Amino acid sequence: MEKELRLMKGNEAIAEAAIRAGVDAYYGYPITPQSEVMEYLTEQQPEDRTGMVVLQAESEVASINMIYGAAGAGKRAMTSSSSPGISLMQEGLSYMAGAELPCVLLNVVRGGPGLGTIQPSQADYFQSTKGGGHGDYHLITLAPSSVQEMYDFLKISFELAEKYRNPAMILSDGAIGQMMEKVILDEQVPRRTEEEIIKDFPWASTGKKNRERNIITSLELDPAKQEQVNLNIQKKYREIEEKEVRFEKVQCDDAEYLLVAYGTSARLCQETVKLARDKGIKLGLLRPITLYPFPMKEIASMVEKQVKGVVSVEMSAGQMIEDVKLAVNGKVPAEHYGRFGGMIPSPEDILEFMEKQIMGG
């Protein structure tokens, strides 16, 4: 069969992906630069296409808790927002991680702190990968760098979230959300029936028919039991770190110098690699696709082999650099380069930084 191709914005692509992946519910609250997600969904009337529910909530606090409810009932539920809205969801996400509920959220990151700017940014790396809310937990975090990946990662994120019973985050930014590219679409996947939910998620609260009751909670008053709950959750994270790391390498085979960058920054760094190669500099790019779990081992082994210096390029004041430095472990110089507050670095500036700070130094 011929592939279905369409020119779409990143925010529209993920909305279409949600309908086609058999998502049951989208609960959200408008915020720039991602409002197209809910606008596209309401325009498409997925209630008629697949039975998917779309509801505009009164706040991001409400939308994440609506998702808790639906996920607790075994349904595929998602939301999208941008930085300030994601901050409001942190309590709900902590509860979901504690209650071990799957969901997918999209953060189309804008520059902060505070109300900041609506321009693209990558300053929510810490919040996404290190927990964000209270307690010991992580979000499985995927970083798309194209409109196609906005589309593809929706389904992958649900599969990971459901496999590990943990929320998954798609960490994007205003550039990828707003730009238009061609997207290859999949065929429609049907939503799970109630029988399938009961079979796939025997823990879900669907009504206690022919079984004992199910309880969805993150509360355990006995500290010895709560420690065990935590140990079980941590065991999942070790497994995720072992099995689910994803990354892409560009011209890394012979690379003596390495850029590490994700999302929009990775696209810029591809240009930087070309510029460097034209000048005879053996520069490569490692693009983490999963930010949590982070490709620690891969970076460590590249440094072990031939890489002599690393620059972590981010549209932030330097957040991912902390993970890069952990991976590099002091063996070679590793520095952060970035612009922030909605500014985007140029490929030339990145190369200049690499040449002066790492190669020259």
Partner 1 sequence: MAEVKEDIKKPENLVYKKTDLMTDKTLSYCPGCGHGVIHRMTMEVLEEMGLEEETIGIAPVGCSVLAYEFMNVDMQQAAHGRAPALATGIKRVFPEKTVFTYQGDGDLAAIGTAETIHACNRGENITIIFVNNGIYGMTGGQMAPTTLEGMKSSTTPYGRDTKKMGHPLKMTELVATLPGTCYVTRQAVHKPGAVRKTKKAIKKALEYQKAEKGTSFVEVVSNCSSGWKMTPVQANKWMEENMFPFYPLGDIKKPEK
Q: Which residues bind partner 1 (CB under 8 A)?
A: 24-25, 27, 53, 55, 57-59, 61-63, 65-73, 75, 77, 91-92, 95, 99, 205-209, 213-219
CB of 29 to partner 1, least distance (A): 11
CB of 66 to partner 1, least distance (A): 3
DSSP string, 265-294: HHHHHHHHHHHHHHTT--EEEEEESEEES-
CB of 54 to partner 1, least distance (A): 9
**Contact call for residues 350 and 285 (beta carbons, < 8 A):** no
Token pair in block for residue 212: 């004992």
In the complex with partner 1, which residue's Cβ is closer, 219 or 317?
219
**Contact call for residues 189 and 162 (beta carbons, < 8 A):** no
In the complex with partner 1, which residue's Cβ is closer, 42 or 205?
205
Q: How far apart are CA 208 and CA 189, in angstroms?
A: 28
In the complex with partner 1, which residue's Cβ is closer, 29 or 294?
29
In the complex with partner 1, which residue's Cβ is closer, 57 or 326?
57
Which strand (E) or helix (H) includes residue 335? strand 334-337
Between strands 180-185 and 4-9, the pairing is antiparallel
**Contact call for residues 13 and 180 (beta carbons, < 8 A):** no
Q: How far apart are CA 320 and CA 290, in angstroms?
A: 12
Sheet holding 283-288, edge to edge: 247-250, 283-288, 257-260, 309-313, 334-337
Token pair in block for residue 77: 């539920």
CB of 226 to partner 1, least distance (A): 14
In the complex with partner 1, which residue's Cβ is closer, 57 or 300?
57
CB of 94 to partner 1, least distance (A): 9
CB of 144 to partner 1, least distance (A): 26
CB of 192 to partner 1, least distance (A): 11
In the complex with partner 1, which residue's Cβ is closer, 99 or 233?
99
**Position 212, amino acid:** E
Cα 77-92-74 angle, rounded to 5 deg: 30
Q: What are the φ/ψ torsions at residue 77 (nearest 5 degrees)? A: -125, 145
Tell me: cis bond preceding 202? Omega within 30 of 0 counts: no
